[in-house]
Amino acid sequence: MEEVVINTGDTAWMLISTGLVVLMIPGLALFYGGMVRVKSVLNMMMMSFGALAIVFVLWIAFGFSMVFGDSVGGKGLIGDIGQFTFLNGLDNSAAIIGTIPAAVFIAFQGIFAAITVALISGSIADRAKFGAWMVFAGIWATLVYFPVAHWVFAFDNFVAKTGGWIANDLGALDFAGGTAVHINAGAAGLALALILGKRVGFGKIPMRPHSLPLVMLGAALLWFGWFGFNAGSAVASNGTAGLALLNTIGATTAAVLSWLLVEKIRDGHATSLGAASGVVAGLVAITPACAAVNASGALIIGAVAGALCALSVGLKFKLGYDDSLDVVAVHLVGGIVGTIMIGFVGVDVGLFNGGGTGQLVKQAIGAGAVLAYSFIATLIIGKIVDLTIGFRITNDQELAGIDVAIHAERAYELTDNSQGSVLGFSKGA
């Protein structure tokens, strides 16, 4: 029997990639936090940090097993929760998955789960009880992310013998999570925005971003971390990782240009918020496709995603749902663009590259299945949380600001006085 040994080059890259994807959590927290008003920036950031905390603990307990355990009954729907419970047999320095230590693969994939949940929080800014969000995050990860990630990321004979139906039976291409992460989070964001309803004054009073430099910094950190997300999804230090990295820059820069072009034509101004949003739209769209397209394909995907996402941000006002930070317009639309366009510009498999329509149909089925399951399951989970413990804070709390009302703290000491503000404070109760 061939001796299995780790590849140190692969291991080094995956250790770095894991660190990079962890950085996406504060990146997202800043990206979202800068976009809300002063009175709710801390709650916005806490939803990302909270999602990481609850989801990663569940990941160790049973999440990894539900995603990468042997498919129950070979149906490709869900992994065996009992196989790697509490990482049984894998949480030691000798266990290997692929060519790297099992521990590294487990940590890397666990952050994907956390990021996906954190992305959803953008649709419910300013108005969700923190405890309800944490309960929702745990249930949603368990009932939506873990199954869907099994469908998409669990390849036969990699961690376990049998994997998920989208990866193995359908054969839809999703390199780093256009379906499992972005369509999944985007559809859930739409469902949750519908469950929670609009913020007080939505569409009537200005809800301007309180700090665009924070948004720009967050977008930059996301981009940096995304190299781990996309190029790390090669689970190897090789040419595939290199191509994914190149495309992660190409698509993103093209998306910035097209988002700004739409803004200039539609609104008369190219904005910094548009540039930051274009960065994320491009990153989202290239996520499933980064190893399936060449550089030209990446530019096309990025350009299309930037334009379509920019055109989609107005939908919420027309249709009347308060997807506060445009999770739908950026992640759902961007995820669909990237996933579907593999069917057009994918090397060898795309319609424009002589691959016929076969892959395009597979991509559409994969995207549609994840969208439908996530949307319906999230509606049910969100409704149950709302009916039992209540999802929304009161209108008075919302008007006062969720940071003070729920977390008992404020983001900024906005004064020039070196002694700090003396207004509005008294010691003790």
Partner 1 sequence: MKLITAILKPFKLEDVKNALQGAGITGMTVSEASGFGRQGGHTEVYRGAEYTVDLIPKVRLEVLVDDKDADSVVDVIVKAASTGSIGDGKVWTTPVDQVIRVRTGERGVDAI
Q: Where do contacts with partner 1 occur on this chain (CB under 8 A)?
A: 206, 208-209, 263, 266-269, 271, 273-274, 277, 310, 313-314, 317, 326
CB of 313 to partner 1, least distance (A): 4
Separation CA 38–CA 410 (nearest Å): 8
Separation CA 147–CA 99 (nearest Å): 25
Tally: H helices and E strands in the chain:
18, 2
Complex with partner 1: residue 179 or 312, whichever CB lies closer: 312
Tell me how crowded residue 416 is: count the other CB atoms within 10 A of its CB: 5
Complex with partner 1: residue 268 or 424, whichever CB lies closer: 268
Residues 6 or more apart whose Cβ sits within 8 Å of residue 100: 6, 7, 10, 11, 14, 235
CB of 268 to partner 1, least distance (A): 8
Separation CA 166–CA 157 (nearest Å): 15
Complex with partner 1: residue 110 or 274, whichever CB lies closer: 274
Complex with partner 1: residue 280 or 304, whichever CB lies closer: 280
CB of 125 to partner 1, least distance (A): 13
Separation CA 395–CA 200 (nearest Å): 7
CB of 183 to partner 1, least distance (A): 21
Complex with partner 1: residue 139 or 276, whichever CB lies closer: 276
CB of 43 to partner 1, least distance (A): 20
CB-CB contact of 381 with 140 (8 Å): yes
Report CA-CA distances (Å) from 219 to 28, 121, 262, 283: 7, 16, 19, 10
Complex with partner 1: residue 37 or 150, whichever CB lies closer: 37
Complex with partner 1: residue 169 or 267, whichever CB lies closer: 267
Complex with partner 1: residue 111 or 273, whichever CB lies closer: 273
Complex with partner 1: residue 313 or 367, whichever CB lies closer: 313
Separation CA 101–CA 14 (nearest Å): 9
Residue 308: closest CA among 330, 292, 291? 330
Provide the residue type at 49 as one letter: F
Residues 6 or more apart whose Cβ sits within 8 Å of residue 218: 26, 27, 28, 29, 30, 31, 32, 33, 34, 276
CB of 5 to partner 1, least distance (A): 51
CB of 314 to partner 1, least distance (A): 5
Complex with partner 1: residue 224 or 317, whichever CB lies closer: 317
Q: Return the structure tokens found at 246.
A: 């190149």
CB-CB contact of 123 with 192 (8 Å): yes
CB of 209 to partner 1, least distance (A): 6
Separation CA 184–CA 117 (nearest Å): 9
CB-CB contact of 196 with 128 (8 Å): yes
DSSP string, 187-200: HHHHHHHHHH-PPT
CB of 423 to partner 1, least distance (A): 14
Separation CA 56–CA 113 (nearest Å): 8
CB of 329 to partner 1, least distance (A): 8
For the four alpha carbons of 412, 417, 420 and 421, in that order, the dihedral sign comes to negative
